[in-house]
Structure 1
Amino acid sequence: MAFSPRKIGIIGSGLIGRSWAMIFASADYKVVVYDNSAAQLSNAKEEIDKQLHGLSEQNLLRGDIPVQKQIENIEFTTNFDACTKGAKYIQECIPELIDLKRKIFNDLDNVMSDESIVGSSTSAIPSSRFTNGLKHKSRMLVVHPTNPPYYVPLTELVPAPWTDSDVVDEVYRLMQEIRQVPVKLTKEVYGFVLPRVHHAVLMESWKMVQDGIISIEDVDKVMSDGLGTRYAFMGPLETRHLNFKGGFKDGCKPHVWEVSNDSGPNARLEGPLLEIIQEDFNKRIPLETLAERRAWRDTRIAALSKFKRDMSNCDNNA
């Protein structure tokens, strides 16, 4: 099969795979989604069709091409070769199981073109752990999206020690083309950057609840109606820079270290408090309503993303 610069392969038809398919289709790429389960593929096709039509009706659709054309850009197959051979770019979206990733990447290594690139959606595992020894390992890296990827554009590019720098640059340009927001890591680190920052916030929130300082519901408000409103437009470093007359340097007072040091060592997220937090959420957001709540979240994030794009366009035209 000849190499096709407009073909994208997606391995896995779960939530992340579906999101990647929709993102690439919005940029008018021809997307082929692979899964070894025909039933899963049928469900993915139905979900994508439903989501894209819903987004179109709400004027929140990504890209500049009609919804029906975007839907037609996505094919589904149980044939691994049909998905991967000749693809410009392949995005792996399978579960976080190291042995399974090793098998899939070995299979990809045997069929991919020398011009193809493979990105893994893994949320924590460095790609060196499953690409070592492969013939095409220099063309493989982590391309970690933020969940839900269609609505939250940040994408971490994490090279293995042997990933070609030109490959990272090419993926960076590809992510920009499809309107993701790529960031490059200069080296591998377990958990990458976004999850590590997220886990730091999660850990501090846990300790505040554990120490009886604040309720479960209120500690979430500290982010959603406090820090989060600023972080929607700027990061913690710029936030600090803007908050002090003398800028960032003035904001790095000794009390920053003192407050952080006072919080004590990290705790394991387990034990009685884990059950208390789970029970609290089960009352407010029962497990059977998670899909509904996720849809509520995604609609709001999509609207925020559109607002940010509009504001960026205004800034660029100013």
Structure 2
Amino acid sequence: MLRGDRSASEQLALLSSHNDLCQALEGAFFVQECVFEEIEAKRSVFQVVESHVGEGVILSSSTSCLLPSNIFSQVQNRKRCIISHPVNPPYYVRLVELVPHPETLAGVMDTTHALMTAVGQAPVRLKKEIDGFALNRVQYAIIAESWRLVKDGVISVKDIDLVMSEGLGMRYAFIGPMETMHLNAPEGLEDYLQRYREGMKRVLNNFGPVPEFSGEAAERINKEMCELIPADQQHLSARRERRDQLLMGLAKLKK
């Protein structure tokens, strides 16, 4: 799983920790903020960081869905600000979403993309900011419909997870939804749309409202999930370890 052209010992030798922020920022050309997902905490970090770095230093946040126009609202030079959102667990899942502030310079996006590529990540460029970015908008759509299907008694928690892990996820690990359509019709994407457009629209128009993710349904779904995987640290830690090992194997397979 080692990335880059340096050995593990060489990479570890480049890491340092500091109690003094000014020392930590000395010589930096790219600053990645990774504090908890609370907008005032992130704003405070960037206000302090900006006062200790030069104008050419890129300021980047790891936020998963907070808009860059909100996070960087108190930064003086917003042209060098960008979101670099990694996916959990980031060492095994290479994707990084790059989301610009409305004032972000194209060169900042290019430099960040090149940096993430150089360290072994798989960056994607969003052309403008949008609530939830791309990954979480797709993920939340899947979660919402999965929740509705379980809540409405159509399928069990165990089986809806199998729909993803043994169905959609098998191909989505290697190709995305657009390529899936392109390959699933004899003559490509346009052919797919001709064949399945009306069916897709019929099903999509039948989707229910956004779930509340609370109340009786949440209690029932949580109970069913905990019967499969108890929510104590021993069981959760074991499943996370299994997840990471499988993701490691998949990452190696995809090289």
Q: Does 1:275 align with 2:219?
A: yes
| 1:80 aligned residue | 21
Q: 1:225 is matched with which residue: 166, 173, 178? A: 166
Deviation, structure 1 residue 114: 1.8
| 1:260 aligned residue | 204
Give the conservation status (yes or no) of the 8 Å contact 2:4–2:118: no
Aligned partner letter, 2:222: Q
Deviation, structure 1 residue 261: 1.1
Q: Distance in 2 between matches of 1:137 and 1:99?
A: 17
Q: Distance in 1 between matches of 2:180 and 2:114?
A: 28
Structure 1: 5+ residue runs without aligned partners?
A: 1-59, 310-318
Deviation, structure 1 residue 231: 0.3
Give the conservation status (yes or no) of the 8 Å contact 2:68–2:101: yes
Deviation, structure 1 residue 133: 4.2
| 2:253 aligned residue | 307
Q: Distance in 2 between matches of 1:285 and 1:67?
A: 35
Q: Distance in 1 between matches of 2:111 and 2:2?
A: 26
| 2:90 aligned residue | 149
Give the conservation status (yes or no) of the 8 Å contact 2:43–2:74: no
1:194-273 pair list within 5 angstroms: 194-252=135-193, 253-273=197-217
Q: Distance in 1 between matches of 2:87 and 2:105?
A: 24
Deviation, structure 1 residue 71: 2.3
| 1:182 aligned residue | 123
Aligned partner letter, 1:258: R
Aligned residues: 250
Q: SS of the counterpart of 1:68?
A: helix
Give the conservation status (yes or no) of the 8 Å contact 2:64–2:85: yes
Q: SS of the counterpart of 1:254?
A: helix
Q: 1:95 is matched with which residue: 28, 32, 36? A: 36
Q: 1:284 is matched with which residue: 205, 223, 228? A: 228
Question: TM-score, normalized by length of structure 2?
Answer: 0.94
Aligned partner letter, 2:213: L
Output one character per residue of 1:228-259: Cα deviation in whole Å (capped at 9) or x when no partner.
01001110111011111132122222110101
| 1:47 aligned residue | none
Q: Distance in 2 between matches of 1:240 and 1:100?
A: 42
Output one character per residue of 1:284-309: Cα deviation in whole Å (capped at 9) or x when no partner.
22231222221211111111111111
| 1:70 aligned residue | 11
Output one character per residue of 1:200-255: Cα deviation in whole Å (capped at 9) or x when no partner.
00001001111111100000000000000100111011101111113212222211
Q: Distance in 2 between matches of 1:133 and 1:62?
A: 35
Q: Distance in 1 between matches of 2:190 and 2:208?
A: 25
Q: Does 1:124 align with 2:65?
A: yes
Identity of matched residues, % = 40
Q: 2:104 is matched with which residue: 145, 163, 173? A: 163
Say if 1:291 and 1:78 are closer, same or farther in 2 by CA, change over 3 A: farther
Aligned partner letter, 2:27: G
Structure 2: 5+ residue runs without aligned partners?
A: none
Give the conservation status (yes or no) of the 8 Å contact 2:3–2:119: no
